C-alpha cells in the first residue's frame, strides 16, 4: 500500500504543494504548530500523511494577510480586472483537472469520476462569478427630499469560510469564487480530514494571477484554528458548511463578537414517489439520490416516501438495483460508489443501521463489499415510521428509509415532519400535484421528476436545522456584500440647520 503514499506525494508535487501538508498563508506554505492530525486513506485504511494543526498564531497571520491583500484587491483592481483574474483561474483549474480529481479521490475516498465532475464545476464557478464581477452595482432611489440617493454594494472585507469533508474542492470553489468576485479577502478552513485540494486550488489560483494573501487556507482543527479565526478582528462574516451541531457552536462563537454567519447545514430530504410516476425513472432517481457519493451529500434523498399502491413494487426495484452498483477503489475508473470517507463517519452510519434493526426495521442490503475500506453497502430500511431515529437523524451514508403514504396530504405532512429544510423531490405525471407538493414542502431546493440537479447559477440553502443564508447564484453576491446608501445634496434640497429632512 506504500504505492498510495507515493501517489499522494507525486500528486502533491505536481500541484506545487511540496511533500508536507501545510497551510497557505500570505502566499507561503507554512507548517502548523498544534496537535498532530492524521490523513487516512479511507479505502486502503493506511495513514497517508500526518501534519500539525495550524494553530491560533498562523490563523491570525492569515487574517492579517487577507485584510492587507483585500485593500488592494477592492481598491486597486477594477471590477473587470478582478473578473479577468478569475477567468484565468478557471482556465488554470481546467489545466490541473485530472491531478486535482485524483488527489480528491485518494484522500476523500470519492470515486474519481465524481471528482472529475466536481473539479469541472469548480472551474465553472470561477467563470460564472468572473462574469458577475463588473455587473454588480447599486441603484438610484427616488427619495422625496430632492437628494440624489444611490446605493453601492460594498465588499465586507475579510470573510472566514469553514467547509466539510464530503465535497472539499467543490465547496471551496463554491464559497471562494463569489467572495473574491465581490472584492473580499478570504480565510478558509477546510475539514482537517481533507485539506489538500483546497490548498492546491488556491495555489493554482495564485499561480494564475490571484494576489498572494487574498485567499489563505488553514489546515487544522475547528476548536483551535477555526475558533481563533472566528474571533479575529479582521473577520467580518463567517460562512459555515457542515453539521447542525458544529454550526450551532460556530454561530454562537460568531455572535459573541457580533459577526453574522451563513450556515449551510445538513438535511433529511423527502423524495416523494406517487403511484402515477414513471417507476423506472423514479427507482433510478431514488438510487442516485441516496447511494451516489455513498450518501454523503447534504441533499441526499434519505427519506423515500412512496404511495402505498406502489410501495412494494418500487422498493423491490430499488433493492434489485442495489446489487448492480459497483463498489470499489475510488481511484478505479469503474467504481460508482467508494467507501465512507472516514472512520468516525463509518461508525455513525453502521451504528444507525444497527439501531434501525433494533427498532424492528427491515434492513435490505447486500453481503458483499470490497476487502478493505470503510464500505457500507447501499441499504434500504422499511417497516419504520417517520419518527424512528433512522427517519429523523441525518445518517450521511448510503441508507434510505422507505415510508408508505396514503395520499398527497399525508405525503406533505410526513415530508415536513422533520427539523430539517434543505431539499426534496416529487415524482409524478400529474403536473398539478407536482406544483402543489413543491410549494408545500419546506425546502430550499426542490426537484420535480429529477434529483440532485445543482448549478452555481441557482441559489442554494435551507431553513431550520439545515441553516440559513444562501450560497451560489446571485443570492451569494448579496451574502458577500453590504449596501451603502449615499445621499448627495442636489441643490434643490431644503436646507435646515438641525434635524433631518423627512
How many residues bind ligand NAD, per CB under 6 A? 28
Task: Supply 266's cell numbers.
Answer: 445538513
Which residues have CB under 8 Å from 354's CB, separation 6+?
none
- Residue 39 or 282 having the CB closest to ligand NAD: 39
- Assess 189 for contact with ligand NAD (CB under 6 A): yes
- Assess 264 for contact with ligand NAD (CB under 6 A): yes
- Assess 206 for contact with ligand NAD (CB under 6 A): no
> For this structure, is 298 an active site residue?
yes
Footprint on residues 275-334 left by ligand NAD (CB under 6 A) = 298
What number of residues does the chain have? 502
- Inter-residue contact 63 to 159 (CB < 8 Å): no
Binder among 70, 191, 465, 472 for ligand NAD (CB under 6 A): 191
Determine the Cα–Cα distance for residues 29 and 215; give it in Å rounded to an integer: 13
Q: Which residue has the cell 407538493?
A: 437
Angle, alpha carbons 495-499-502 (nearest 5°): 75
Binder among 160, 165, 346, 420 for ligand NAD (CB under 6 A): 165
Residue whose CB is nearest to ligand NAD in the complex, by number: 222
Stretch of 4-12, 262-270, 362-370, 490-498 lying at the interface with ligand NAD (CB under 6 A): 262-270
- Assess 397 for contact with ligand NAD (CB under 6 A): no
Binder among 133, 250, 403, 443 for ligand NAD (CB under 6 A): 250
DSSP state of 469: S
The helix (H) or strand (E) run that includes residue 272 is strand 270-273
Determine the Cα–Cα distance for residues 249 and 176; give it in Å rounded to an integer: 22
- Assess 216 for contact with ligand NAD (CB under 6 A): no
Cα four-point dihedral sign 292, 294, 298, 299: positive
Determine the Cα–Cα distance for residues 172 and 167; give it in Å rounded to an integer: 8
- Assess 121 for contact with ligand NAD (CB under 6 A): no
Stretch of 217-225, 430-438, 447-455, 481-489 lying at the interface with ligand NAD (CB under 6 A): 217-225
Cα four-point dihedral sign 170, 175, 176, 180: positive
- Assess 385 for contact with ligand NAD (CB under 6 A): no
Stretch of 152-160, 162-170, 283-291, 330-338 lying at the interface with ligand NAD (CB under 6 A): 162-170
- Inter-residue contact 125 to 204 (CB < 8 Å): no
- Assess 192 for contact with ligand NAD (CB under 6 A): yes
Binder among 241, 319, 331, 353 for ligand NAD (CB under 6 A): 241
Q: Which of 118, 264, 394, 408 is catalytic?
A: 264
Determine the Cα–Cα distance for residues 341 and 304; give it in Å rounded to an integer: 24
Backbone angles phi, psi at 493, to 5 degrees: -75, 130
Query: In 3-state terms, what secondary structure has residue 75?
Result: helix
- Assess 374 for contact with ligand NAD (CB under 6 A): no
What residues are labeled active site? 264, 298
List interacting residues with ligand NAD (CB under 6 A): 162-167, 189, 191-192, 221-223, 226-227, 241-243, 246, 249-250, 264-267, 298, 394, 396, 422
Amino acid at each position: 500500500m506504500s504505492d498510495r503514499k507515493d501517489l499522494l506525494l507525486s500528486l502533491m508535487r505536481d500541484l506545487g504543494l511540496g511533500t508536507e501538508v501545510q497551510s497557505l498563508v500570505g502566499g507561503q506554505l507554512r507548517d502548523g504548530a498544534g496537535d498532530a492530525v492524521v490523513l487516512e486513506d479511507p479505502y486502503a485504511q493506511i495513514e497517508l500523511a500526518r501534519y500539525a494543526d495550524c494553530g491560533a498564531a498562523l490563523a491570525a497571520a492569515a487574517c492579517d494577510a487577507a485584510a492587507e491583500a483585500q485593500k488592494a484587491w477592492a481598491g486597486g483592481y477594477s471590477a473587470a480586472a478582478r473578473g479577468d483574474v478569475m477567468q484565468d483561474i478557471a482556465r488554470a483549474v481546467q489545466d490541473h483537472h485530472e491531478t486535482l480529481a485524483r488527489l480528491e479521490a485518494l484522500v476523500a475516498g470519492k470515486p474519481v469520476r465524481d471528482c472529475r465532475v466536481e473539479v469541472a464545476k469548480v472551474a465553472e464557478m470561477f467563470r460564472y462569478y468572473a462574469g458577475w464581477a463588473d455587473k454588480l452595482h447599486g441603484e438610484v432611489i427616488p427619495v422625496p427630499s430632492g437628494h440624489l440617493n444611490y446605493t453601492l454594494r460594498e465588499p465586507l472585507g475579510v470573510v472566514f469560510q469553514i467547509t466539510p469533508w464530503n465535497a472539499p474542492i467543490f465547496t471551496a470553489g463554491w464559497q471562494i469564487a463569489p467572495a473574491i468576485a465581490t472584492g473580499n479577502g478570504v480565510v478558509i478552513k477546510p475539514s482537517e480530514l481533507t485539506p489538500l485540494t483546497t490548498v492546491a486550488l488556491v495555489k493554482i489560483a495564485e499561480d494564475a494571477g490571484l494576489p498572494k494573501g487574498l485567499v489563505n487556507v488553514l489546515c487544522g482543527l475547528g476548536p483551535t484554528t477555526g475558533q481563533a479565526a472566528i474571533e479575529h478582528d479582521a473577520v467580518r462574516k463567517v460562512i459555515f458548511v457542515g453539521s447542525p451541531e458544529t454550526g450551532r457552536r460556530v454561530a454562537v462563537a460568531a455572535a459573541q463578537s457580533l459577526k453574522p454567519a451563513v450556515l449551510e447545514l445538513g438535511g433529511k430530504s423527502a423524495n416523494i414517489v406517487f403511484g402515477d410516476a414513471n417507476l423506472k425513472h423514479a427507482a433510478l432517481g431514488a438510487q442516485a439520490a441516496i447511494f451516489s457519493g455513498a450518501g454523503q451529500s447534504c441533499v441526499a434523498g434519505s427519506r423515500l416516501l412512496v404511495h402505498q399502491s406502489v410501495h412494494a413494487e418500487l422498493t423491490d426495484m430499488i433493492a434489485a438495483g442495489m446489487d448492480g452498483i459497483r463498489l470499489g477503489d475510488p481511484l478505479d475508473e469503474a467504481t460508482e460508489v467508494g467507501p465512507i470517507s472516514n472512520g468516525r463517519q463509518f461508525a455513525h452510519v453502521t451504528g444507525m443501521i444497527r439501531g434501525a434493526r433494533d427498532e424492528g426495521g427491515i434492513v435490505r442490503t447486500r453481503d458483499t463489499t470490497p476487502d478493505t475500506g470503510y464500505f457500507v453497502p447501499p441499504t434500504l430500511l422499511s417497516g419504520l415510521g417517520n419518527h424512528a431515529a433512522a427517519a429523523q437523524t441525518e445518517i450521511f451514508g448510503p441508507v434510505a428509509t422507505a415510508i408508505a403514504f396514503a395520499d398527497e396530504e399525508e405525503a406533505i405532512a410526513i415530508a415536513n415532519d422533520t427539523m430539517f429544510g434543505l431539499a426534496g423531490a416529487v415524482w409524478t405525471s400529474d403536473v398539478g400535484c407536482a406544483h402543489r407538493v413543491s410549494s408545500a414542502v419546506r425546502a430550499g431546493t426542490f426537484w420535480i421528476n429529477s434529483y440532485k440537479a445543482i448549478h452555481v447559477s441557482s441559489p442554494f440553502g435551507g431553513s431550520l436545522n439545515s441553516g440559513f443564508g444562501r450560497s451560489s447564484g446571485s443570492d451569494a453576491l448579496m451574502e458577500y456584500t453590504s449596501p451603502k446608501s449615499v445621499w448627495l445634496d442636489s441643490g434643490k434640497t431644503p436646507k435646515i440647520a438641525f434635524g433631518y429632512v423627512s
